[in-house]
Structure 1
């Protein structure tokens, strides 16, 4: 009986170990789900219109959630959907707790979240902390000096010269040119606005502002969002003494944002403490509500050393889950050499603190699309790079199709405010409208985006040929390449494997992902406009069978084809993803 009981007890103990092991892995999955995620950015105005007014909306997004399931996307990030006068298309918020009317209602939002949850899709919201709209009740009350709101924004008295002429408090320049200070006649003071005059900067040195923003984050967390992308976070704090910034020496135009070195208006130490505070808020919420980790990703165009501080500080205090890596936008272009790609990829991985996840941003709503920036033939290769590198992939809507900028939008159809301000002679290359045109679903009217007679921005004229439906039906397409890459990302070697890279010449580079017990994955890309032939045998360091897993649309190769290690031939701008298996 004792022996029998011992056997039973031993079995129960073994099963409890298995259960504990399973629970441990479940906990790990909940905490780390974002580490290998692809976040798909939706520009809501341009994704799908459900009511025929020519503007994309929440119900339109809800109607297309199955698209993400089919594609392999499990996290979507929405550019601002909050109530706004739309001076900067949602980045000027007049109510952080309500939905912009043309996008829908809070009930529509709840329905979208409910369906996304059913389909296993996480929803990330844009959070804009630096400024509100000047139509926000906070600003209206602050301008009137109402009790509790007097210092909600950054106000400062004018400088008056010897002739009695009023001027701004200092020389700070707006991102969109001209003084960063706007005179308010009612309050008889200037307010800081680092962006448009409709976007006054909030004053985070006032604890009431921080408390109000904390409550807003909790409000949306309770509605079921899985995290936030924090906009322009490096602008939130300014020098407390409001000192003049030094001249950069790069331009003589004192109205240009490039005229000054922005040492007092960007990347202040307090920014990092703020992000650490919000990280603690998100982590506490997840723990107290027994839900998977709530992610925070931060947007800041800054020096590498400054970006790394967002991961964690010198004492290891955690900041955002990851700061956006914009090197593919700011440092690399169509003229970049293979060595440039290797350098900037390795640079991020080298400087990133241990235990964190890298990320690769190929495009967004503020910059030209991949096909327009690197060239239409590079689309597949660029997606191969971002999807097989270690860490997180960021996809801007339509990049999976190779959508292109519509740079020839007329001035009459232009709505981006900086472009409108530039006038009809200069708007074209300033405008951000070309990369924000409607999603190209099919070859029907307005590319299947809307039934309206006119859409908020014109659809790109190439939609009859370049659209999702056509690419789904084609034997080969950018979309099918992208789909294959997302499936491949689930492999252990791409999630946990080591990384090594090499440039073979000015045009071709490669990187490999290796994990013990798993076939090695090799990504090889020709970034030049010439045919190339390279020998990869020394790089892979052993005799191998090279079997092609993913090929570019216009590749000479086929999936499943084998290659010789000593002679890999690549067409201009071609990319290949290859599996390496040791020869027996």
Structure 2
């Protein structure tokens, strides 16, 4: 819904003149990504649940969150913990009931917070009714999945149709003795790919979207959208062709990157399908003038990713997830790399579409572990103060670190499929999904169970919400200060300019009229001195609005623009004095 935001009066030195600008609710929102299994356990079984989320919505509201984004909560055998769905119309019993979910929506509505769900349209569980009936050649479900005949090799052994490899390693084809055919599974063997060349499948997914949107869900994130369509085999004589080898060293024929996936991802039909899904969202928006937001997630090239915005003539996603800060940066990255990653998305995205920023996800190492704990505040400044939408993965606001999960306790099918009790840690996603750290009490306040579904990360006694909320300076307090700043016109509506002031110091300017701010972060391990007058119209005195936890500066400290000395890992938000 397009709405005129309240008039902002002179809140800071008389410089906030009337600012009436039409923005939709999502265009400058803070989305908070929750992995429900690990957020909050309300019933003592060691597994997070919906009632646990409901009980913590006030925490999110106080944090400055506009929308809670939940990873899949549908009924599932949990071979891939919710990403293998057996029934898209019901709630996984581990997480509660439909009534629990409706209470979550009610509570969220009361505090003016949105709930967004996640859906993976590419596949279901092999225990879904759809797949079971398709396996048994039910007339209606016969071709709801991608089925193919195999072949016999020279020794008379049954072989898959071609050399395609699963993202989770090994062949992407699994033999079904019931049907005497192979089914495609681009992820786990328990996750058969749906056949979207069957129009009935497309309509069924639309019905699922309508079902939840009508319940009051404010939107969907659609995961792995670039895998939905494979190449049309009719273009190749009715046979799916082999994919070529990449030639990358150190890889074997079971490794996903061994092949160049030209036939199994990033096809034109994926964009057409997302456009069809968008029509479902827009139809409801036209009915009641409340936008339901469509988010797409695709690990792909920048050119492919931004195409999910649409082509100008056609609308696709409201928010194609921007993985640049997650995928392009690591421990070795410096200020130039950060500027390059930020500028790349701003350059490639359509001019009038909002950008979005995230630095963590349930599939990637946490910020405190991927970089350094002292850089948590710096990266939260990036996510929350760059122009556009902010997306925070749960725990990044308090600087949670990766957990350690032994081979015997590993749950992630991606890791288990390595069959390697030594090197599984290189691919396991379990360390980023450990229980949320609410306090220094039993199980970090996550659960009163004797055993949690994944072990807790070390250090929760010091890194937890309770301790950080009561502290004068903490990552949590910095995060709250940053979300408060987002309401100011300079960050909500203002201009943007960025510079790598040195190899280790990245800075950007946000301004609206004469209200100007500079966000500066030293990502190096040594002391740096910079001159902020390199920015247009930055001169004289600035004062500190927000400082990172380990900074020696505090709110309202004066800084001279021509000489700013920064300690290692120090990050500041500075306001120009006029």
Look up the match of 1:7: none
Work out whether 1:462 is the aligned partner of 2:481: no
Task: Give the Cα–Cα distance (whole angstroms) in 2 for the partners of residues 579 and 385 of structure 1.
Answer: 16
Look up the match of 1:521: 517
Deviation at 1:538, TM superposition (A): 2.7
Q: In the alignment, is the contact (CA less than 8 A) between 1:30 and 1:292 conserved in 2?
A: no
Task: Give the Cα–Cα distance (whole angstroms) in 2 for the partners of residues 556 and 217 of structure 1.
Answer: 50
Q: 2:320 aligns with which of 320, 323, 328?
A: 323
Structure 1, 40-49 or 420-429: larger mean CA deviation: 420-429
Look up the match of 2:60: 68
Structure 2 unaligned blocks of 5 or more = 8-19, 234-239
Work out whether 1:425 is the aligned partner of 2:422: yes
Look up the match of 1:559: 555
Deviation at 1:291, TM superposition (A): 4.2
The Cα offsets for residues 54-97 of structure 1, whole Å up to 9 and x where unpaired, read as 00000001111110121111200000100000000000000000
Q: 1:537 aligns with which of 517, 533, 538?
A: 533
Q: In the alignment, is the contact (CA less than 8 A) between 1:380 and 1:552 conserved in 2?
A: yes
Look up the match of 2:242: 244
Look up the match of 2:194: 202
The structure with the largest helix share of the pair is 1
Work out whether 1:301 is the aligned partner of 2:299: yes
- After the TM superposition, which residues 167-316 of structure 1 pair with which residues of structure 2 at under 5 Å, given as runs? 167-241=159-233, 242-251=240-249, 252-288=251-287, 290-313=288-311, 315-316=312-313
* Pair 499,52 (structure 1): closer, same or farther in 2 beyond 3 Å: same
Task: Give the Cα–Cα distance (whole angstroms) in 2 for the partners of residues 54 and 374 of structure 1.
Answer: 30
Look up the match of 1:88: 80
* TM-score, length-scaled by structure 1: 0.93
Task: Give the Cα–Cα distance (whole angstroms) in 1 for the partners of residues 3 and 147 of structure 2.
Answer: 56
The Cα offsets for residues 359-381 of structure 1, whole Å up to 9 and x where unpaired, read as 11101111110000011110001
- After the TM superposition, which residues 390-429 of structure 1 pair with which residues of structure 2 at under 5 Å, given as runs? 390-407=387-404, 409-422=405-418, 423-429=420-426
* Pair 436,29 (structure 1): closer, same or farther in 2 beyond 3 Å: farther
SS in 2 for 1:36: coil
Structure 1, 464-473 or 164-173: larger mean CA deviation: 164-173
Deviation at 1:163, TM superposition (A): 4.2
Q: In the alignment, is the contact (CA less than 8 A) between 2:3 and 2:22 conserved in 1?
A: no
Deviation at 1:30, TM superposition (A): 8.9
- After the TM superposition, which residues 120-199 of structure 1 pair with which residues of structure 2 at under 5 Å, given as runs? 120-199=112-191
SS in 2 for 1:286: helix
Structure 1, 505-514 or 29-38: larger mean CA deviation: 29-38
Task: Give the Cα–Cα distance (whole angstroms) in 1 for the partners of residues 407 and 155 of structure 2.
Answer: 41
* TM-score, length-scaled by structure 2: 0.94
Deviation at 1:159, TM superposition (A): 2.3
Task: Give the Cα–Cα distance (whole angstroms) in 2 for the partners of residues 437 and 291 of structure 1.
Answer: 39
Structure 1 unaligned blocks of 5 or more = 1-19
* Pair 250,549 (structure 1): closer, same or farther in 2 beyond 3 Å: same
Look up the match of 1:548: 544
Look up the match of 2:494: 497
Q: In the alignment, is the contact (CA less than 8 A) between 1:297 and 1:321 conserved in 2?
A: yes
Task: Give the Cα–Cα distance (whole angstroms) in 2 for the partners of residues 222 and 80 of structure 1.
Answer: 18
Q: In the alignment, is the contact (CA less than 8 A) between 1:501 and 1:509 conserved in 2?
A: yes
Q: In the alignment, is the contact (CA less than 8 A) between 2:169 and 2:417 conserved in 1?
A: no
Task: Give the Cα–Cα distance (whole angstroms) in 1 for the partners of residues 185 and 177 of structure 2.
Answer: 15
* Pair 84,465 (structure 1): closer, same or farther in 2 beyond 3 Å: same
Structure 1, 128-137 or 343-352: larger mean CA deviation: 343-352
Q: In the alignment, is the contact (CA less than 8 A) between 1:31 and 1:293 conserved in 2?
A: no
Deviation at 1:429, TM superposition (A): 2.6
Deviation at 1:545, TM superposition (A): 2.5
Q: 1:42 aligns with which of 34, 59, 80?
A: 34
Deviation at 1:21, TM superposition (A): 9.9
Q: In the alignment, is the contact (CA less than 8 A) between 2:546 and 2:574 conserved in 1?
A: yes
Task: Give the Cα–Cα distance (whole angstroms) in 2 for the partners of residues 51 and 355 of structure 1.
Answer: 46
Deviation at 1:410, TM superposition (A): 2.2
* Pair 451,29 (structure 1): closer, same or farther in 2 beyond 3 Å: farther
* Pair 268,535 (structure 1): closer, same or farther in 2 beyond 3 Å: same
Q: In the alignment, is the contact (CA less than 8 A) between 1:30 and 1:291 conserved in 2?
A: no
The Cα offsets for residues 331-374 of structure 1, whole Å up to 9 and x where unpaired, read as 11121121111111111101111210111110111111000001
Q: In the alignment, is the contact (CA less than 8 A) between 2:4 and 2:22 conserved in 1?
A: no
Deviation at 1:420, TM superposition (A): 2.5
* Pair 31,277 (structure 1): closer, same or farther in 2 beyond 3 Å: farther
Q: In the alignment, is the contact (CA less than 8 A) between 1:524 and 1:576 conserved in 2?
A: yes
SS in 2 for 1:124: strand
Work out whether 1:580 is the aligned partner of 2:576: yes
Structure 1, 249-258 or 360-369: larger mean CA deviation: 249-258
Task: Give the Cα–Cα distance (whole angstroms) in 2 for the partners of residues 351 and 461 of structure 1.
Answer: 40
Deviation at 1:32, TM superposition (A): 1.6
- After the TM superposition, which residues 473-488 of structure 1 pair with which residues of structure 2 at under 5 Å, given as runs? 473-488=470-485
Rg larger in 1 or in 2?
A: 1
Q: In the alignment, is the contact (CA less than 8 A) between 1:116 and 1:123 conserved in 2?
A: yes
Q: 1:511 aligns with which of 508, 513, 536?
A: 508
The Cα offsets for residues 184-234 of structure 1, whole Å up to 9 and x where unpaired, read as 101111100000100000000001101110000000001100000101000
Task: Give the Cα–Cα distance (whole angstroms) in 2 for the partners of residues 247 and 411 of structure 1.
Answer: 31
Task: Give the Cα–Cα distance (whole angstroms) in 1 for the partners of residues 211 and 6 of structure 2.
Answer: 30
Task: Give the Cα–Cα distance (whole angstroms) in 2 for the partners of residues 448 and 24 of structure 1.
Answer: 38
Q: In the alignment, is the contact (CA less than 8 A) between 1:31 and 1:292 conserved in 2?
A: no
Q: In the alignment, is the contact (CA less than 8 A) between 2:507 and 2:520 conserved in 1?
A: yes
Task: Give the Cα–Cα distance (whole angstroms) in 1 for the partners of residues 506 and 406 of structure 2.
Answer: 40
